[in-house]
């Protein structure tokens, strides 16, 4: 909660912004216009695949399956981040 003094200062800043840059002021008042972000299908697929690989590696002691579990853990930790990063780069 802002104090009265802080609220007055904020109102003054808003008035100044409206006077100097009305387009920016209107855009900020509208908000971003984007709905809350949902996970993409690629992110969900990366998470699902990694969970399956981790479970396989945890319950099957064959060396290949242990490696699959380690790879699954890496995908689980980095996959969604990598997909978001890739999508952000491709939209530029």
* 83 contact partners, CB below 8 Å, separation of at least 6: 40, 42, 43, 46
pLDDT in tens, the chain (92 residues): 789 999 999 899 888 888 998 888 888 777 766 665 666 777 778 778 778 877 877 787 788 887 887 877 887 777 767 777 777 776 55
Q: Is the pTM here over 0.85, yes or no?
A: no
How far apart are the C-alpha atoms of 72 and 48, rounded to whole Å? Answer: 10
Token pair belonging to 82 = 């990598």
Task: List own/partner pairs for 50-59 with CB under 8 A and 24 or more apart.
Answer: 50/74, 50/75, 50/76, 50/79, 51/76
């Amino acid at each position: 909660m802002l104090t009265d003094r802080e609220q007055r200062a904020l109102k003054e800043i808003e008035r100044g912004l409206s006077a100097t840059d009305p387009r920016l002021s209107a855009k900020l008042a509208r908000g971003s216009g984007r709905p809350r972000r949902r996970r993409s299908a690629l992110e969900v697929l990366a998470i699902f695949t990694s969970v399956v690989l981790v479970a396989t590696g945890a319950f099957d002691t064959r060396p290949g399956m242990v490696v699959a579990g380690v790879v699954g853990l890496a995908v689980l930790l980095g996959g969604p981040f990598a997909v978001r990063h890739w999508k952000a780069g491709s939209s530029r």
